[in-house]
Amino acid sequence: MRPSALIRSPAVAAALLLALAAGPPLAGQQAPVTAPPPRAFTASVYTGLHEPLVEALLYNPPLPQVEWKAPHTPGSTIRKVVPVLVLHARGLADGPATLKYGIDAGTATLTSGTTAVTVEHGGFEIAVTLDATHPKATHVSWACIAASGAPVKGRVELRWSRFRGQVRYLDGGWRSSYIEIWPNGFRAPGSFYIPVRDDGRFDALVPARVYSVMNVNGAGYKYESMERWAWDYDLTRDRLDEFTIGRTEIYAMRAFDLNAPLSTVFVMFRPTALSRMLRFDADGDGLISEAETKATIAAMKDSPTVIGPELEAADVKVWLNGNEERIVRFDRIPEYDGDFWQVQYVLQIFPKVRPPRGVWHEIRVEVRSKEQAQGRDVIDFGQGSVGFQRF
């Protein structure tokens, strides 16, 4: 993706990415899987699945724990990083059931468990925190035993992608940081925590799939920086990437094309600028207290740009699959959130070549807005991305 805004030379950026590509795995990490791509697929919502389908996602974190330092508190804390097994099922009969599962290495069972599940709308999803990593695992065996009816059994091959790269802050500083990925959204039970080292590098084997949400964040959140988000992020194969965190986050992104023979792609996003949030820091401690949050929300009842920057097309850049595109239309829409307003921006691009069907594409957006912070002019920068597929 985008070389850091701090690296102006394409040659330097290329050298950095090559150095990262050559870097060894973190200590204790299993070797990269060499299965030919694609290692996973995403079924269309229109697909008629006539057999039970269970997805097994085993995450073995590269480190058991990380040190966490917050800029506004003394000392540091230790965060444990736990291995997780996620099982996601579709095509089952609704109702209560007992799920039995085992993590296997070939024909040997490494660990197993039993849990109660409730099948709703033909499926369920559970996340199991494991006591140990299982880098030699190859499969997950499962059996779903309903209160009535014959047991449904299966065995799922485990597949991983190597996900590595660099996290940077636009101001050149560093804060303790992490990456968290959710396979099926915030409300689903499972997510995977990827540690980021103090040099900004990360390197982990993650279950191969497209992830609903990815959050790149750090200890300076809402104090010195915001978050870097990605939506529908493609990790069906090995990926090297670089993320830049600034003072604006780009949230709630969505990209879609037209059900028509045109190349037009729409991109929606909601930005939030730290400088605008800190206008409500009444006591000047650099943090937004509960009372200050209430004051912020009260102001947001009257305007969608209380914390959202006021952007024009010239303040925004957009890339489709790594190629910068011209914004042909840029609109601002108030977003109603039940009791207050935020701002959504909708941009349109018209690629010369229409993105083909059946593959994942990626849109990256960067924004810059002129703001005031502590009596001085600042530029709040944000970066985000969203994947989409033309079905």
CATH code of the domain containing 113: 2.60.40.10
pLDDT at 87 over 60: yes
Q: How confident is the model at residue 333 (pLDDT cuts 50, 70, 90)?
A: very high
Could you report the per-residue pLDDT of 75-85, keeping only the tens digit for each?
Answer: 899 999 999 99
Give me the mean pLDDT over the 213-228 stretch. Answer: 95
Length of the chain: 391
Can you give the pTM of this predicted structure? 0.87
Beta bridge mates, 84? 59, 129
In single-letter form, the type of residue at position 284 comes to G
Q: How far apart are CA 379 and CA 377, in angstroms?
A: 7
What distance in Å separates the CA atoms of residue 158 and residue 57, rounded to the nearest whole number?
7
Residue 87: C-alpha distances to residues 28, 50, 115, 310, 391 (Å):
25, 19, 12, 43, 25
Express each pLDDT in 224-270 by its tens digit: 999 999 999 999 999 999 999 999 999 999 999 998 899 999 999 99
Q: Give me the domain span that covers residue 261.
A: 248-391
The 8-class DSSP code of residue 30 comes to: P
- Average per-residue pLDDT for the chain: 88
Distances (CA, A) of 73 to 68, 189, 218, 293, 365: 11, 30, 14, 20, 33
Q: Is pLDDT of 200 > 70?
A: yes
Q: If we measure between CA atoms, which residue out of 271, 246, 266 comes closest to residue 349?
A: 266
**Is there a domain that residue 322 lies in?**
yes
Q: Which residues sit opposite 98 in a β-bridge?
A: 116, 145
Q: What is the pLDDT of residue 259?
A: 87
68 phi/psi in degrees, rounded to 5: -120, 125
Q: Does residue 256 sit in the same domain as residue 388?
A: yes
Name residue, tokens 């810059």.
368
Cα separation values, 52 from 49, 87, 142, 211, Å: 8, 13, 12, 21
In a domain, 99, yes or no: yes
User: Is the Cβ–Cβ distance between 225 and 247 less than 8 Å?
Assistant: yes
Q: Which one has a higher pLDDT value, 34 or 328?
A: 328
**Domain end call among 110, 129, 157:** 157
Examine the pLDDT at 2 and tell me if it is beyond 80.
no
pLDDT for res 28: 41
- The tally of domains found in the chain comes to 2
CB 267 within 8 A of CB 254: yes
Q: Tens digits of per-residue pLDDT, 358-386?
A: 889 999 999 999 998 878 899 999 999 99
CA distance 334 to 222: 23
384 and 257 share one domain: yes
pLDDT band at 144; cut points 50, 70, 90: very high
Three-state DSSP class for 274? Answer: helix
When pLDDT is cut at 50, 70 and 90, the band that residue 4 belongs to is: very low
Residue 218 domain-assigned (yes or no): no
Per the domain annotation, does 208 fall within a domain? no
Judged against a pLDDT cut of 90, whether residue 41 lies above it is answered with no
Q: What is the pLDDT of residues 17-40, one digit of tens each?
A: 333 344 444 444 444 444 444 555
